Chains A and B, each alone.
Chain A
Amino acid sequence: MADENFLADDFVRQLMSVGEVDLMVGLPTHNSESSVGEVIASIDKAFQEKYKRERVVIVGVDGGSTDGTCDVIQKADIVAHQNSRGITSLRTVHRIMTKYDSVPVPGIALRTLLATADLLRAKACAIISPNSVNVTPEWVENLLEPIYRQGLDFVAPIYSRHKYDGLLARILLYPMTRATLGSRVYELQSDEFAFSGKLASYCLNQEVWHNEAIRDAPQTWMAITAICNDFKYGQSFLGPKVRPANVPAPDLVTVVRQVVSALFWCLESESSVWIDKPTAALAASTSGVNGHHWLEGSDQANPTRGWEMFRTGITELTPVLQSIVTKDTLSEIEKTATLEVPTFHIPDELWVKALYEFAASYHWDVLSRDHVVQALVPLYRGKISSYLIRHQDSSFEQIDAHAEALCQEFEKQRPYLIERWKVKS
């Protein structure tokens, strides 16, 4: 039985009044007043048009909103029903919500939604960010359908991206998980994803919820858990990802800390799955769409600031880096830090080697684990700057080719990671 003790009594009463459901959509909200109404309208429309006979529920899980988010969630159904035309759902589209804390914690929000799915015996669940301003009913359908009709357990999204968006996935998360776990899931850290009731129950019963790495980036953990534990997984194309203008872009340092910590932690906890098996033996087929989907647009990004922060970071953090990477790697990194912007370049070989050494150092606890991950940030900034310089005038095909070459470099150096992982140096 799932651990539902952390759910508020009032929320449990709401769940009891809903009963069992077939489909569930969760909204982890925090000050989302301006956009959550539109998102709920789209979900509602998807339920009204595509899932007329299914028992459905929309669950809001709020982390300390100080605006009218909660009111909007509770009243949004009125607007949605007033605008509906023709044959609509034969069942009530339930809307329930709960508040869990005074600050948003992704791990608590996801755990609450997993417990909800478990208690309601939902067959398919989707999580949608209330901050995505261009959610359409198709998003809901594309996320739920592979779970509900095709029997998958986890569905990750694929978005159309501008060429400088989502770089953490492109140069780190995707190639590293592809090389280590054999997974071809591109967006491991995303605001939208879907999962089966079976996977929800499995994840809910894992003893990870008090782990800091998982509390901050539970999506990555859930995706890797599905990949490593014989669940069926796939990807679904959603379209472009657009954030509201008044919502700040995620802070680079915070995101890198959270996502890389979760990735390294997962690599360690699942090491028995990947460490002694070749990538080819691990590679499972990934259902659904694959590859990059590009968005045309005037992409402007200046590599100078990142390069400056890389150079300062490497100089200042030398004593810290000495404990994390090998002498050769540090010397190569220092050499690249002497290059000026037009010629500045961090080769893929060096990036991959350094990253693998960071992962091994995290595994061996050479320093506080959070410090190991934080020390990676200047190097990541450097690699981003190098990427921006290299691809300023590149076509999408050239960027795709480079992304594939980078993945192959990660795969080529996989034995080096395993060697350093097994033997402390």
Chain B
Amino acid sequence: MKATILQGLQQAYDNLVHMVAEFLPRFLVMLIIVAVGLLVAALLRYLLRWILHLTRLDRFSEEAGATRVLRKAALPSVVELLSGLLFWLVWLGFILLGISVLHISELSEQISRLFQFLPQVAVAILILFAGLVAANFFSRAALLAAVNAGSRSPSVLSWFVRFVIWIFAISMALEQIGLAKQTVVAAFTAIFGAAMMALAIAFGLGGRHLARQWVERYIGDKKKPVRPEADEPSPL
């Protein structure tokens, strides 16, 4: 009995030592590949940045309006963005190569799936980026219009516009990567519907007089003299 237990323990220990002895060199190789990848990626980023500066891409992107769009989305310049993208792509490639050296079949399968999934993720990121830019632009437009019209809650209106666009962009991005499609659509419908209903109720209760003024202005007597903004002198 005792001999059997000892034999079992000895076998387990031998297996562990064997596994560690087999795994450790692979792990070290993986670390070396990742480290080399980091160096190569950094070098390539430096090289690309240098080449792009040489080709005056920044100036071209400024003239084409791309820099403005990126700035509005609080993103770095085109040169930084491209060189950063190259860095991460190269390094990610080396990391995945390193992981494959470990010979873990499940992990390899997941990595393969990840590669197939990447284009959809890229499109989803693009959708989110476009949503971010659109949300910034339209919320600012709403804020400026509301402030200049003398609205009482310009920030609320601006945030509402931003919120709706965000929700819209996020739901589109999630749908793109196929994540809980039905839940996303249902959540979007519920949130959007609730927001619209809240707005309608708020306007119906709080803005009855405003609504009446609008109706009178647009479908009432058009020949009636229109009074300019109270006490505001004519600019021209």
Contact surface of A with B, Cβ cutoff 8 Å? 164-169, 189-190, 245-246, 248-253, 255-256, 259, 301-306, 309, 312-313, 316-317, 320, 365-368, 371, 374-375, 377-378, 384, 388
Contact = CB atoms under 8 A, between A and B. Distances in A.
B157 to A, nearest CB: 10
A248 B235 contact: no
A185 to B, nearest CB: 15
Contacts of B65: 365
A367 B223 contact: no
A246 B225 contact: yes
A271 to B, nearest CB: 16
A228 to B, nearest CB: 23
B195 to A, nearest CB: 21
Interface stretch (B4-12, B91-99, B102-110, B147-155): B147-155
B231 A165 contact: no
Interface stretch (B18-26, B29-37, B135-143): B135-143
A169 B143 CA distance: 27
Given A317-B147, A374-B144, A378-B147, A245 B235 contact: no
Considering the complex of A and B, which 4 residue pairs feature the smallest CB-CB distances, nearest first?
Answer: A302-B231, A248-B226, A249-B228, A168-B235
Interface string B187-225: 000000000000000000000000000000000000101
Interface string B144-180: 1101111000110000000000000000000000000
A255 B147 contact: no
Given A245-B225, A246-B223, A316-B154, A371 B140 contact: yes
Interface string B121-132: 000000000000
Interface of B: 65, 68, 71-72, 137, 140-141, 143-145, 147-150, 154-155, 223, 225-236
A253 B137 contact: no
13 contacts: A165-B234, A166-B234, A166-B236, A168-B235, A169-B236, A248-B227, A253-B148, A255-B236, A259-B235, A306-B232, A312-B150, A368-B140, A378-B148
Given A305-B229, A309-B148, A377-B148, 13 more contacts: A168-B236, A248-B226, A250-B236, A251-B228, A251-B229, A255-B235, A301-B231, A305-B232, A306-B232, A309-B150, A312-B150, A366-B71, A368-B141
A305 B232 CA distance: 8
Contacts of B231: 301-306
A167 B232 contact: no
Contacts of B154: 312, 316
A374 B146 CA distance: 11
A167 B223 CA distance: 28
Contacts of A365: 65, 68
Contacts of A256: 235
A366 B68 CA distance: 7
Contacts of A366: 71
Contacts of A378: 147-148
Given A249-B228, A377-B148, A316 B223 contact: no
A320 B144 contact: yes
Contacts of B72: 367
A164 B235 CA distance: 9
B233 A371 contact: no
B75 to A, nearest CB: 15
Contacts of A374: 144-145, 148
Contacts of A166: 234-236
A77 B223 CA distance: 26
A167 B143 contact: no
Contacts of A259: 235
The listed residue with most A CB atoms (<10 A of its CB), out of B141, B154, B233, is B233
Contacts of B232: 252, 301, 305-306, 384
B64 to A, nearest CB: 12
